[in-house]
């Protein structure tokens, strides 16, 4: 497949797969025809799910929740610097199967670790982190409302929108909306090759904020207007994918685990164990600090987030699945950060 470079091509790819059309309900919904234009006709599993039985009522759990901070209140701590990014990819078509994953990331083949988490630790360190997609993944340093510190992971979906777990932006046990989050794309030990930005403009869902419902555990950080990190490092697309597609796909997950210090990016890919309407479960090794990490598929050379990593469990780690309602919120938040 020909390489795709340049920010305009990047933007085109993202827009093509997220281009909304106005549905009869008045709520923006993806246009399946437009979405299928870039799909392989031999891969029916790549088609989007149907959109029936969705509740778009403003009081629904999926309804947006905000910390009501204007962007002017954001606390910028640094400006962007470093290389120009493209957000494009160079992999071959048909590379969403597990067997091909290391073909897509040959630089990672000889870096597999041997430590034990629960069973073998198959994570691979990303070093350096300055190529796409790794540079679009961000270490998060979180200051809770009560002043306590936490670490998490986020991923850019637009120049100024970072997606993460809901529990990284709203902590029920720590005073609610967090005080601020420092976003550091491509952090690599002591290196922050693209600088960092801090923000307190946050978004999540009513289902998470009001009910602490795991199914709605996702959120967003909107960076200050003069901090367009995604314009430098590139960003992920995101998509709704059906069960059969997901079960046949290699899921990629990369983030900043605490057992490695929280300043190194570690990656693993594997097929899921199961999928439900709201959750994707997998045996991808993770550790505290990887909350909010992207779970993405590599399809026809493009990266699409299909889940937001949130939870760990000995019987399987899990992500909030990007279904239609999650997609709609992500799209709204993406538009806030253009």
Partner 1 sequence: MLGAVVSIAQAPGTIQDIGMITDNNGTVSIDVTEPGDYVFSVFYNGQKYQVSSTLKPQNQDISIVVG
- Looking at the annotation, which residues are catalytic? 167, 291
82 Cβ contact partners less than 8 Å away, ≥ 6 residues apart: 130, 193, 194, 195, 232, 233
At 209 the three-state DSSP class reads: helix
Hey, CA dihedral for 167, 169, 170, 175, is it positive or negative?
Answer: positive
Q: Applying CB under 8 A, which part among 44-52, 54-62, 235-243, 280-288 lies near partner 1?
A: 280-288
Please report which helix (H) or strand (E) contains residue 139, including its range.
Answer: strand 137-143
Find the shortest distance in angstroms from Cβ 108 to partner 1: 21
Of these, 291, 299, 320, 325, which contacts partner 1 (CB under 8 A)? 291
Q: How far is it, in rounded angstroms, from Cα 335 to Cα 5?
A: 23
Of these, 10, 123, 167, 303, which contacts partner 1 (CB under 8 A)? 167
At 287 the three-state DSSP class reads: coil
Q: Applying CB under 8 A, which part among 30-38, 57-65, 89-97, 142-150 lies near partner 1?
A: 142-150
Beta bridge partners of 164: 219
Q: Does 262 bind partner 1 (CB under 8 A)?
A: yes
Q: Which position has the token pair 């497949």?
A: 1
Binding flags for partner 1, 205-244, as an x/- string (CB under 8 A): ---------x------------------------------
Of these, 174, 215, 285, 323, which contacts partner 1 (CB under 8 A)? 174
Q: Does 137 bind partner 1 (CB under 8 A)?
A: no
* Residue ranges in 29-186 assigned as alpha helix (H): 32-36, 101-104, 166-169
Q: Does 257 bind partner 1 (CB under 8 A)?
A: yes
Window 107-126: residues binding partner 1 (CB under 8 A): 117-118
Q: Is 57 exposed, middle or buried (0-12, 13-18, 19+ CB in 10 A)?
A: exposed
* Residue ranges in 249-286 assigned as alpha helix (H): none
* Chain centroid to CA 166: 12
Q: Does 317 bind partner 1 (CB under 8 A)?
A: yes
Q: How far is it, in rounded angstroms, from Cα 80 to Cα 94?
A: 35
Find the shortest distance in angstroms from Cβ 251 to partner 1: 15
- Of 52 and 149, the one with the shorter C-beta distance to partner 1 is 149
Beta strands 28-30 and 237-238 are unpaired
Q: Applying CB under 8 A, which part among 89-97, 284-292, 298-306, 328-336 lies near partner 1?
A: 284-292
Q: Does 20 bind partner 1 (CB under 8 A)?
A: no
Of these, 10, 123, 303, 309, which contacts partner 1 (CB under 8 A)? 309
Residues that bind partner 1 (CB under 8 A): 117-118, 142, 147-152, 165, 167-168, 171-174, 214, 256-262, 286-291, 309-314, 317-318
């Amino acid at each position: 497949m020909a390489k795709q470079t340049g920010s305009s091509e990047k933007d085109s790819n993202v827009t093509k797969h997220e281009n909304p059309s106005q549905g009869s309900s008045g709520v923006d919904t993806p246009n399946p025809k437009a979405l299928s234009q870039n799909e392989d006709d031999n891969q029916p599993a790549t088609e989007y799910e149907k959109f029936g039985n969705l509740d778009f009522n403003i009081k629904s759990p999926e309804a947006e929740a905000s910390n009501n901070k204007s962007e002017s209140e954001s606390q910028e701590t640094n400006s962007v610097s470093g290389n120009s990014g493209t957000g494009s990819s160079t992999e071959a078509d048909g590379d969403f199967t597990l067997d091909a994953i290391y073909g897509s990331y040959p630089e990672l083949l000889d870096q597999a670790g041997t430590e034990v988490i629960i069973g073998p630790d198959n994570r691979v360190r990303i070093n350096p982190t300055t190529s796409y997609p790794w540079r679009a993944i961000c270490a998060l340093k979180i200051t809770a409302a009560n002043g306590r510190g936490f670490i998490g992971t986020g991923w850019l979906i637009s120049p100024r929108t970072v997606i993460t777990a809901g529990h990284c932006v709203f902590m029920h046990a720590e005073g609610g909306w967090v005080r601020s989050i420092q976003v550091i794309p491509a952090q690599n030990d002591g290196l922050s090759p693209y600088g960092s930005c801090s923000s307190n403009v946050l978004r999540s869902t009513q289902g998470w904020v009001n009910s602490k419902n795991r199914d709605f555990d996702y959120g967003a950080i909107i960076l200050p207007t003069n901090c367009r990190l995604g314009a430098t490092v590139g960003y992920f697309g995101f998509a709704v994918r059906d069960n059969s597609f997901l079960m046949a796909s290699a899921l990629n997950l990369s983030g900043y685990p605490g057992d490695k210090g929280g300043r190194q990016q570690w990656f693993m890919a594997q097929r899921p164990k199961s999928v439900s309407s709201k959750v994707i479960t997998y045996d991808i090794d993770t550790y505290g600090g990887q909350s909010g990490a992207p779970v993405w598929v590599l399809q026809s050379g493009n990266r699409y987030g299909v889940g937001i990593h949130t939870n760990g469990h000995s019987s399987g780690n899990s992500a909030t699945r990007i279904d239609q309602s999650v997609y709609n919120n992500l799209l709204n938040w993406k538009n806030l950060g253009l």
